[in-house]
Amino acid sequence: MADTQARRPEIPAASYHYRRPLRLAELAPAIGAGVGVGVAVFYVARLFLQRTPLVREPGIAQLDEHGMIVRRPRAGIVRR
């Protein structure tokens, strides 16, 4: 069964690629993008850490155990 399958063509030695050392001028865009992404992530993380926690205010209507809206009077206001 292996005899009936076509063999892969061999890659000639002329298509060999090598890595050359890069100069600083060639690396500058990648370094700049990395620093920019790092600053953006730091900013977003700092926003999340400094945000005000969500707390219920006493003047906002709330639901009771039956799902009915309960309106609580504000402090200092007397209803008659």
Confidence (pLDDT) at 65: 81
Supply the pTM of this predicted model: 0.45
**Structure confidence by residue, pLDDT tens digits, 25-78:** 999 999 999 999 999 999 999 999 888 767 666 666 677 788 787 766 666 666
How far apart are alpha carbons 49 and 53 in whole angstroms? 10
SS3 56: coil
| Over residues 8-26, mean pLDDT | 79
> What's the Cα-to-Cα distance from 41 to each of 27, 36, 56, rounded to whole Å?
21, 9, 30
